[in-house]
Amino acid sequence: QQQVKQSPQSLIVQKGGISIINCAYENTAFDYFPWYQQFPGKGPALLIAIRPDVSEKKEGRFTISFNKSAKQFSLHIMDSQPGDSATYFCAASITSGTYKYIFGTGTRLKVLA
Amino acid sequence: DTEVTQTPKHLVMGMTNKKSLKCEQHMGHRAMYWYKQKAKKPPELMFVYSYEKLSINESVPSRFSPECPNSSLLNLHLHALQPEDSALYLCASSQAGQGYEQYFGPGTRLTVT
């Protein structure tokens, strides 16, 4: 119940295309859902985050879609660029009570020029 | 300043050595974390310090010893490590204990020979 399932494991997209990464959770106590981007040899960097009171959040080319009833959330990267090639991790957290900050297994995105 | 710094960037140590990893942040964050990350895997939580007190130890072997000298600094003391401890060690900080964005440092690449 503590897992966050992330798919796909790897993704290849043409430049200008849309990259879509999905995550699913089971614990309904999770109430904060961030996405991190990690380049090789670097630490993860927060990309965008959402709380369950909204169904969508957009920041530039990055959009999180959140489906509370399905317990799923996804990251959409519009107009994907070669510089977006990185590993993306979703995460789920509980903002009060017992500490929980669970990362998904990661998606390696490659954007072809 | 939204930076978390870590030193050293790379560390090679023998199984009988004693070494320390250092982490520093000047964002006024009151929670700091140590993660271990193996290749192609998500970060794995090791320790959480909240208001300079150890609040979570994820059953980490005693050969890893964390220390939080003050609210800006976090150390990880290493002793008698095993080759399987070779990994990227990440430090992170956040505004409070959970439910907030975590800011990661670039990590220390540790190799145990």
Instruction: Give the minimum alpha-carbon distance from B104 to chain A in angstroms, rounded to a whole number.
Output: 6
Amino acid in position B105: G
Strand, coil or helix: A104:
coil
Average pLDDT, 10 consecutive residues per value, chain A (113 residues)? 89 98 94 94 93 94 96 98 98 83 95 96
Q: What's the confidence (pLDDT) of residue B8?
A: 97
- A103 and B42 Cβ atoms separated by less than 8 Å: yes
Interface contact B90-A103, CB threshold 8 A: no
- B47 and B77 Cβ atoms separated by less than 8 Å: no
Interface contact B97-A105, CB threshold 8 A: no
Interface contact B105-A43, CB threshold 8 A: yes
Q: What's the confidence (pLDDT) of residue A100?
A: 80
Geometric angle at alpha carbon B84, from B79 and B90, rounded to 5°: 70
Interface contact A106-B40, CB threshold 8 A: yes
- Reading the block at residue B8, the tokens are 């050293």
Mean pLDDT score of chain B, rounded to an integer?
92
Which stretch of DSSP H or E encloses residue A74?
strand A72-77
- Reading the block at residue B44, the tokens are 């794995």
Interface contact B99-A32, CB threshold 8 A: yes
- Name which of B45, B105, B109 is nearest A101 (Cβ-Cβ): B45
Q: Is B4 on the interface with A (CB under 8 A)?
A: yes
In this prediction, residue B98 has a pLDDT band, given cuts at 50, 70 and 90, of low
Chain-centroid distance of CA A84 in Å reads 13
Q: For residue range B41-87, list pLDDT tens digits in order.
A: 999 999 999 999 998 888 899 999 999 999 999 999 999 999 999 99
Classify residue B67 as exposed, middle or buried by CB count within 10 Å of its CB (0-12, 13-18, 19+).
middle
Whether B99 has a pLDDT exceeding 70, the answer reads no
Rounded distance between C-alpha atoms, residue A95 and residue B37, angstroms: 24
What average pLDDT does this structure show over B13-34?
94
Query: What is residue B62's DSSP assignment?
Result: T
- Name which of B40, B100, B107 is nearest A43 (Cβ-Cβ): B107
Q: What's the confidence (pLDDT) of residue B97?
A: 63
> 């590993």: which residue's tokens?
A87
What average pLDDT does this structure show over B8-26?
95
